[in-house]
Structure formats: structure tokens, C-alpha cells
Amino acid sequence: MFAVFYALAGALVGVIGTALADVMREKRDLRRRNQEELRSICSSFTIGLARTRRYLFQLQSEPQQEETWQLAEASFTEVRAHYERLLITAELVTAQEAARHVVHFMYWMMQAVRMQSTGYDACRDEFNKWLEKFYVEARRELGLRNPNNVYLKQLDDVPSAISTTSQKTQ
């Protein structure tokens, strides 16, 4: 009689254990898929920011280039779309907030270039500050061990270095 109860208890523990293991594995896999999706969204988001910023550098010296304006606006629209995807995917409100400020200051950088106003440098500085915060928060959400270890050398002098190099080679 006891053997039957032990066999039944063993089978029950086995079934429950297997079910719990499956649930835990599914949660781990879901977390991994979400992290991969977030990593992809963050990459696309920052690629779009870099592209938009490159167009703004070109437009600062030639603001009348309508084709470049169209490219900048299309690129910024992509940035906004990636931001919306980020809101759906990111769990940390701090990452969402940082991304929102990055988009905000990118928009105002575009407006400063369009209006040829003096506010571009202030917008750029705020953009850089929030971009660094975004990187830290995205890295934190991705579970990286040292999320604050972000090296962001200001890239504002890169386009002039590229144009200087290309002028020397011509």
C-alpha cells in the first residue's frame, strides 16, 4: 500500500517538476528574445540618430539643400518609429525617458539648423547628455554588468576632420 503512495507521489513530483522547469525555461527564453529585440531597436534608434546628425552637419554649411533636408526628415521619422518601438519593448521608465529627451533635442537641433539660429550648440549639448544617459539605461536594461561604463567622445569634430581629409586627398 505504501509503495503505491510513494509511486504516486513520485510521479506527481516528476510531473510538477517538469512543468515548473518548462515554465522557467519559457520565461528565460522570453527574456532573451525581449533583450535581443531591445538590442535591435536600440541599435536602429542610434543608427537613425547618427544618420540624422550627419545630414544636419551637411545642412549647417549648405542649409538650402532641399534633397538633404528630405533625407534628414526621413531619417528623423525613422528615429521616431524606433522610439515608439522602444516604448513598447523597454521596461525601464528611465530608458524610455532618456530616449524621449534624445528625440526631443534632435528635433530642436533640426529646427536650429533650419532657422539658422544660435541655439544649435545648446541643443547639441543637451542631446549628448541625454544620449549618454540613454546608453547607460539601455545597457542597464540589457543586464550588462557595468552599465555606466560608456565612452562617448564628442563626435562634433568628426565631420570637419572627414572633410579636411577628403580635401587633402583631392
Higher-scoring residue by pLDDT: 77, 153: 77
Would you state the pLDDT for residue 149? Answer: 85
Q: Mean pLDDT across the chain, nearest whole number?
A: 85
State mean pLDDT over 42-53.
Answer: 95
C-alpha–C-alpha distance, residues 168 and 36, integer Å: 42
Summarize pLDDT for 57-72 with one digit per residue, the tens.
999 888 889 999 999 9
Its CATH architecture, for the domain 23-164, is: Up-down Bundle (1.20)
Residue type, 52: T
> Among 128, 140, 130, which residue's Cα sits nearest to residue 38?
140
The pTM of the full predicted model, rounded to 2 decimals, is 0.75
C-alpha–C-alpha distance, residues 67 and 126, integer Å: 27
Q: Which helix (H) or strand (E) holds 92?
A: none
C-alpha–C-alpha distance, residues 121 and 168, integer Å: 28
State mean pLDDT over 26-48.
Answer: 88
Does the pLDDT at position 160 exceed 50? no
Span of 76-85, 88-97, 112-121 with lowest mean pLDDT: 112-121
Higher-scoring residue by pLDDT: 136, 30: 136
Above pLDDT 70, what percent of the chain? 89
Would you state the pLDDT for residue 49? Answer: 96
